[in-house]
Amino acid sequence: MANAQLHIVDCEYLKQIEGARRDLHDLLLNNKQFAPIVLRLAFHDAGTYDANAKTGGPNGSIRNELSNPPNNGIKNAIDFCEQVKTKHPKVTYADLYQLAGVVAVQVTGGPFIPFIPGRPDAPDQQDSGALPNPNGDGQHLRDIFYRMGLNDKDIVALSGAHSLGRAHQDRTPGFDGPFTEDPLKFDNSYFVELMKGDTPGLVKFPTDKVLLEDPAFRQFAELYAKDEKVFFADYAQSQKKLSELGFNAPR
C-alpha cells in the first residue's frame, strides 16, 4: 500500500466522508451490537501490514479475504458498512472500514480518534499477513505487531479494544463469552478485569493473560487499569497509528 497513489481527496470526497461518518454514527448508535465486529473489521484490514515489505495494511482488501480463518464473522461487518458505501460511493473501502472503526469506538463511549481520509483501495490484493492467534505468547504478539511497525505500548493499548465484544466458538475455538461485564461499552474495564484474574463468565485468552506475565506489557496494563484517561489517550494514538499503516497521510 505504501507505494500506491493517495486517493484524490477533493471537496466532493470530503463531503462524502462526512456523510459516511454521520451515517455510520447513526447506524451504530441505533445498532450498538455491531460496534465490536465493525471495530474488528478495521483492525483486521489494517493488521496485515508488513513494515519491511510495505505490503498489506488498511487498503480495503479484507473484503476479498473472508476465507482466511481469522476473518470468520467479518462479513457481517462488511455487509453493515455496505449500506453506507451505497450512499457514499466515492468513499474507498479502505477509508470506510477505518472510519467505521473510529466511529464504533466513539459511539460506545471511547475516545475521539482523529481520522485523515485518502487511503486507496487494493481490490485485487489478497493479503496473507498473519493476525494474532489468541493462544499465542508474548513473543507471538511481538512478532505480529512488530512486523506492522508497532511497539509494546501499542500492543497493550490495542488489546484494550476487548472491552467491546465477546469470543465466539466459530472464530476462536475453545472460547465463548464476553471479556467484560458490559461488552457494548468502551472503557478500561478490560484491564480492570485482567487484574482480577479469572472471573466466572468472562473470557481471557492466553494473549490477554500474557499482558500480566510479561513485565514490559504489565506496566502498561496496570497503568490503564488505574487510569482510564491515560488509557483513552494512548489507545486513540495507537488506533490512529494502526489505521494509517502504510498510508502516507497528508498532514
Q: What does the pLDDT look like over 178-198, one tens digit per residue?
A: 999 999 999 999 999 999 999
> Quick one: which of 26, 154, 131 has its CA closest to 80?
26
Mean pLDDT of the chain: 94
What whole-number distance in Å separates Cα of residue 16 and Cα of residue 7? 13
Q: What is the C-alpha separation between 156 and 197, in angstroms, rounded?
A: 17
User: Which CATH number do you get for residue 76?
Assistant: 1.10.520.10
Task: For residues 66 and 87, give the distance between their C-alpha atoms in angstroms, rounded to a whole number.
Answer: 23
Residue 241, CA distances (Å) to 155, 207, 251 in order: 12, 21, 14
Whole-number Å distance between alpha carbons of 214 and 203: 19
Which letter, b or e, does each residue of 114-152 get, where b requires 16 or more Cβ atoms within 10 Å of its Cβ? ebbbbbbbbeebebebeebebebebebbbebbebbbbeb
In a domain, 228, yes or no: yes
Taking alpha carbons only, the member of 161, 156, 123, 154 closest to residue 38 is 161
Identify the domain containing residue 167 by its residue range: 138-235
Angle between helices 93-107 and 74-87 (to 10 degrees): 110
Query: Residue 170: what pLDDT?
Result: 81
Q: Are residues 16 and 123 in the same domain?
A: yes
* 215 and 154 both lie in a single domain: yes
- Indicate whether 23 and 122 sit together in one domain: yes
The mean-pLDDT minimum among 111-115, 128-132, 172-176, 226-230 falls in: 128-132
- Domain of residue 217, CATH code: 1.10.420.10
Task: Show the CA angle centred on residue 138, arms to residues 238 and 212, nearest 5°.
Answer: 80
Q: Would you please indicate which residues are annotated as catalytic (active-site) residues?
A: 44
- Tell me, yes or no, whether 124 lies in a domain: yes
pLDDT given at position 242: 98
Q: Supply the pLDDT for residue 127.
A: 67
* Cβ neighbours, 10 Å, residue 198: 9
The grid coordinates listed for 215 are 513485565
pLDDT, residue 185, reads 98
| Same domain as 61, residue 15 | yes
Instruction: Tell whether the model's pLDDT for residue 250 goes beyond 80.
Output: no
C-alpha to C-alpha distance for 241 and 189, rounded to whole angstroms: 23
3 pLDDT higher than 90: no
Residue with cell 481490490: 123
43-64 confidence digits (pLDDT tens): 999 999 999 999 999 999 999 9
Asked if residue 185 belongs to a domain, the reply is: yes
CA distances from 22 to 101, 107, 230, 233 (A): 13, 11, 27, 23
pLDDT digits (tens, 9 = 90+) for 103-133: 999 999 999 999 999 999 987 766 667 889 9
Q: What is the pTM of this model?
A: 0.95
% of the chain at pLDDT higher than 90? 85
Number of domains in the chain: 2
Please indicate, yes or no, if residue 248 is contained in any of the structural domains.
Answer: no
Return the bridge partners of 167, or none.
177
Pair 178, 86 in one domain: no
